[in-house]
Structure 1
Amino acid sequence: MVNKNNKGLGRGINAIFQDIEDPDLEQSAVEDLPLEEIRPNPYQPRKTFDEAALADLAASIKTTGVFQPIIVRKSISGFEIITGERRFRASKLAGKTTIPAIVRSFDDPAMMEIAVLENLQREDLTPLDEAQAYDTLIKKLNLTQAEVSKRLGKSRPYIANYLRLLTLPVSVKTMLNDNQLSMGQARTLLSLKDKKQIPAMAKKVVAENMTVRQLEKLINELNAGAKKPKPKAKVKSPYLRASENQLGDRFGTKVNIAQTQKGKGKIEIDFGDPNDLNRILALLDVNLD
């Protein structure tokens, strides 16, 4: 019943479902449940379902029925799907009123982990759905990236790279989900130092059909340009520094002499308040009366 190819998911869903894999137990536990009493798994990480694939599955179910029961748990009102939401959705599309199901008792953490693991085994999971699955395990089960890595048999950098996709701007996430951008292109876009440039750069990638290598080169150039050092302030001549010191002593405050183009310049004299200004003006023999 469970796909044996767990794609390296460590402990994996097979271990969780080992009781379900007993054929006798499975057959005795199957019952037809009304579709109207079943609700999707609230912890379902998958946000997108291929409508064409659902239509094909619905056509098959309409003709031959559902061979593989879904797994549900009893809730306060009706049932909640643990695994098998595609079959549930396709059955509704096919006009069915009931679906074969196995009722199991799972608490919220177990239900969440099973939903995530089952989805991670599907090859049609989008990069963002996979990223959301890891994020769900971390936040809802209070796991670290290292713990998720060990639990699923994935490297920590692998988990981290997917989680970073969740920080993409919404418009870029849409492009990724629509297969306009690849996983590699999306990850490369995240290396832009000026994050505000990401949406425009994503559009450029699609419009020019850029490869990951081309994108990396362009972003490296942009990032290098952003690192250009600010021009160093010109070193003042000993004459100007000495003049500043003498004027500072004369007025009892800080004085700055700045030299501009073609030998021109300006003198800036700091003052603390109106009284201080009047004191300096008096020293300059400036009478405003």
Structure 2
Amino acid sequence: MSKRPLGKGLDALLPALSINEDDKVVEIPLAQLRANPYQPRRNFNDETIQELADSIKEHGVIQPIIVRSVLKGYEIIAGERRFRASQKCGMATVPAVIKKFTDQQVMEIALIENVQREDLNAMEIAIAYQALIDQFSLTQEELSVKVGKSRSHIANFLRLLQLPEEVKNYVSRGTLSMGHAKAIAGLKDKKLMKALADTAIKEQWSVRELEEEVKKLEEKSDSKKAKQKAKRKDPYINELEETLRETYRTTVKIRHGSSNKGKIELLYYSKDDLDRLLELLQGKTS
């Protein structure tokens, strides 16, 4: 699939949400409004919505929302919090400016504006980034330029999408921080991710404490793999190593490579030990 440019770009799209003297403000019944289907925000803070509703009761909706006309009514492009707050305080209509936007522009505005202004929680940002990548066939590098963030920033958020659903919910609710989620996102075992997340929440671990626990588990896993690998070694090689250890009274490793080639390693721990081994080897070969 060929890559397409991201619409008109952020600089051209976001100013389109501003209201100027030529824009006509109309009162639209709340019943005729519906949310932007591309809105990445899944959670709206009830407390802040209530605060906004209290302000609207006293002062009204100071800044009109931006909408576009659709088949049945209007779709909110910008101002969903004002819409929700107006519902909460029982208003029948809300002031709005009707503008024309394509579906692509609506998606770009909804995703990029929210990500730029950091109105989303970590999981919503991750989902928004992935949606932009999928919708517009972008690389992580291209996306980083579009939203003005570093590539590592993009990669860290996208890694959150590998978390189990329960852990994603912790991050969405704010029970688990982005730092905590990032610490466990690199693990492969989803059950282990969930267990660590639960323990981190229960024990109120700091991000550093969780990172240390992950490090210990990774080291333990590496050690276990090394032992399993050693156990799988050819019994004949094991027997030869033991015979050579007894003969030379030192650690001996036989490393078998491809094409029946390999090497024998004898460890020494001092110059005297080296001289001793050399004498034994010369004696064995003379």
Q: Same fold (TM over 0.5)?
A: yes
The Cα offsets for residues 130-150 of structure 1, whole Å up to 9 and x where unpaired, read as: 112212211223322222111
Please tell me the root mean square deviation across aligned C-alpha atoms, in Å: 2.0
For residues 178-257 of structure 1, the aligned pairs below 5 Å read 178-228=173-223, 229=226, 230=228, 231-232=230-231, 233=233, 235-236=235-236
- Match in the other structure for 2:65: 70
Q: Is the 8 A contact 1:109 1:141 kept in 2?
A: no
CA offsets, 1:238-269, max 9 Å, x none? 9xxxxxxxxxxxxxxxxxxxxxxxxxxxxxxx
Q: 1:119 offset after TM fit, Å? A: 1.5
Name the CA distance, whole Å, in 2 between partners of 1:20 and 1:74: 15
Count the aligned residue pairs.
226
Are 2:14 and 2:113, in contact at CA under 8 Å, matched by a contact in 1? no
CA deviation string 1:132-187 (max 9, x = no partner): 22122112233222221111111111111111112211111121122221111100
Cα separation, 1, equivalents of 2:97 and 2:19: 13
Q: Does 1:16 align with 2:13?
A: yes
Q: Which residue of 44, 47, 50 maps to 1:49?
A: 44
Q: What SS does the aligned partner of 1:205 have?
A: helix
Q: 2:136 aligns with which of 121, 127, 141?
A: 141
CA deviation string 1:187-216 (max 9, x = no partner): 001122433201111011111111122111
1:39, distance to aligned residue in structure 2 (A): 0.6
- Pair 1:125 & 2:124 matched: no
Q: CA, structure 1 residues 20+206, in 2 after alignment: closer, same or farther (shift >3 Å)?
A: closer
CA contact (8 A) 1:127 1:177 kept: yes
Larger Rg: 1
CA deviations on 1:44-67 (whole Å, 9 max, x unpaired) are: 000000011111111111221101
Match of 2:30 in 1: 35
Letter in 1 for 2:235: V
Q: How many Å separate the matches in 2 of 1:54 and 1:19?
A: 25
Q: Give the 3 Å change call, closer, same or farther, for CA 204–19 of structure 1 in structure 2.
A: closer
How much does 1:234 deviate?
A: 5.1
Q: Say whether 1:171 aligns with 2:166.
A: yes
Contact persistence 1:83–1:118 (CA under 8 A): no
5+ residue gaps, structure 2, are 1-7, 241-286
- Aligned-residue offset at 1:22: 5.9
Q: Answer yes or no: is the 8 Å Cα contact 1:35–1:97 preserved in 2.
A: yes
Is the 1:38–1:79 Cα contact (8 Å) retained in structure 2?
yes
Match for 2:202: what amino acid?
A
Work out whether residues 66 and 76 of structure 2, in 8 Å CA contact, stay in contact via their aligned partners in 1. Answer: yes
Specify the SS of the correspondent of 2:96. strand
Question: Alpha carbons of 1:109 and 1:213: their partners in 2 closer, same or farther (altered >3 Å)?
Answer: same
